[in-house]
Amino acid sequence: MIAMKNIFLPAIVAIAFIATGKAPLKAQDGASSPPLPALSHNGFERGGAAPAVGPRPSMLRGYADFSLAPPHNEADPGLCDVPTTVGTTPCTAFARYMLYGHIEMRPLARWPRILGVPVYTLYIFSDATLLLGNNIPQQKYTWSADAIGVEKSFGVVAPIPHGFEVRITQHPPFSSFQQYKQSTGYLGPNGPWGRYTTVGVRKYFGYHGSDGAPR
């Protein structure tokens, strides 16, 4: 038992040292670490106003995402009537792959205030999902990456205090590529959502840094 304690105790101390980044059993020199800055409701800013010193807010940010839908689990953009996807030119617009992109731009990021109004927080956004595949549920499953079309939306956002945003979003019809427009069972470009415009409110809570660590 003593031998086991001699092995595990140093191991536990070493793990604690690595996990916390602090020296074990010894107070760090230099009293306290600097306080974290105030956090805003989204990733653009930390704090409720443009920084007095240091870099201005980024004018452009975004991300991209790639997803794979396994066989028998294809994404359906609503272009095909499944019972009639037969014939010489069947509608095969069921996606195996999805490439998603999101971009936000702050055109006024370099001007913190105009006439006293903090306009630097206003931004526009655009979302787009490119669907790829060549499949028919229960009939045909392939790993093909034929281009199907693009689902997209865009809008304007005005952040307001306490982690809220007022958002205006425009969603156009699905942009399907030409080869599907002549296929049997093609339902048209409206997709599952069609064309719409919304005015909404979003509430943010919590915050995680780009590395996933809470701040």
Token pair 């998603």: residue = 100
Tokens representing 178 are 């030409």
Percent of the chain with pLDDT over 70: 60
Report the C-alpha gap between 154 and 110 in whole angstroms.
22
Give residue limits of the domains in the chain: 56-215
Its sign, for the CA torsion 24, 27, 32, 34, is negative
CA atoms within 13 A on the CB side of 86: 4
Task: For residue range 25-46, list pLDDT tens digits in order.
Answer: 444 444 454 544 443 444 444 4
Token pair 């956002």: residue = 157
pLDDT > 70? residue 72: yes
**Lowest pLDDT segment from 71-80, 146-155, 203-212:** 203-212
Query: Average pLDDT, whole number, for the chain?
Result: 73
Report the C-alpha gap between 92 and 76 in whole angstroms.
10
Q: In one letter, which amino acid is 98?
A: M
Average pLDDT of 168-193? Answer: 78
b/e for 126-146, b at 16 or more Cβ within 10 A? ebbbbbbbbbbeeeebeeeeb
Q: DSSP for 100-127? A: EEEEEE-TTTT-S-BTTB-GGG-EEEEE
CA distances from 48 to 38, 51, 63, 160 (A): 8, 9, 24, 10
What's the pLDDT at 133? 94
What's the pLDDT at 118? 72
Query: pTM of the prediction?
Result: 0.65
DSSP, collapsed to helix, strand or coil, labels residue 11 as: helix
- Cβ neighbors of 204 (< 8 A, separation 6 or more) are 41, 42, 163, 164, 165
- Cβ neighbors of 100 (< 8 A, separation 6 or more) are 64, 65, 66, 67, 127, 128, 129, 130
Higher pLDDT, 154 or 16: 154
Tokens representing 166 are 């007022």
Would you tell me how many other CB atoms lie within 10 Å of the CB of residue 34? 5
